[in-house]
Amino acid sequence: MAPTEPGPDSAPAAPSAAPTAPAPDHVAAIQAEWRRERPDLDVSPQAVIGRLHRLAGWLTEELCLVYGRYGLGEGEFDVLAALRRAGAPFERAPGELAAHTMVTTGAMTKRIDRLERAGLVTRRRSEADGRGRVVALTEAGRRLFDEAFTAHMRNEHRLLGVLTAEEAAALEGLLTTWQRRLDDTGTPTTGAADR
């Protein structure tokens, strides 16, 4: 059957809408202001570092929501993670924990105190060195952490799920390269430990 010709009373076909550019985000708006105020400076690094900084803050909030459901702060979660990763008997020296979680020994002592009061870890003298101490997960601590870590990984999958597998792999590669090069220059890195 032949297509019918539009009659004189037919409405003209609507033109196809041209794709619109996304509105500038917060970082782009900040860059535009700086380009106006300080045209002598190249503010292009903000496009990467500014967005990473904002993402880091937002991701930390999202991760801490899950920790909080288990009565844990970010620091306590890091300590329990370092102990659990050690494997049975799930113990490490306080200095080793501080190194794994990238905090001072003073900050680590406070975290261990809180966890010990909650019955999630114990402290004892080291059998290898009578002057040293060892921190170990209790059975209650291991059970709680295993449950919390399962929820944590589910949460991380959710947060990363807005990217395709290819995008996530590309981002992982870029971040790994950047971190390795900064490490090679001796640039100090601080922040949460690998969980």
Structure-block tokens of residue 55: 């993402």
Q: What is the pLDDT of residue 6?
A: 47
How many structural domains does the chain have? 1
Residue 107 falls inside a structural domain = yes
Residue 59 falls inside a structural domain = yes
pLDDT, tens digit, 9 for 90 and up, residues 12-42? 555 555 566 666 788 999 999 999 999 999 9
Q: What is the pLDDT of residue 3?
A: 45
pLDDT, tens digit, 9 for 90 and up, residues 112-127? 999 999 999 999 987 7
Residue 193 falls inside a structural domain = no
How far apart CA 128 and CA 133 sit, in angstroms, is 10
Q: What is the pLDDT of residue 155?
A: 98
Residue 164 falls inside a structural domain = yes
Residue 171 falls inside a structural domain = yes
Instruction: Please give the mean pLDDT across all residues of the chain.
Output: 86
Among 7-21, 104-118, 167-181, the minimum mean pLDDT is found in 7-21
State mean pLDDT over 164-193. Answer: 85
The range of the structural domain enclosing residue 72 comes to 46-182
Q: What is the pLDDT of residue 133?
A: 87
Residue 36 falls inside a structural domain = no
Residue 189 falls inside a structural domain = no
pLDDT, tens digit, 9 for 90 and up, residues 155-169? 999 999 999 999 999
pTM: 0.78
**What is the per-residue burial (b if ≥16 Cβ within 10 Å, else e) of 60-97?**
eeebeebbeebebeebbbbbbbbbbebeeebbbebebb
Residue 70 falls inside a structural domain = yes
Structure-block tokens of residue 190: 């601080």
Banded model confidence at residue 10, pLDDT cuts 50, 70, 90 = very low
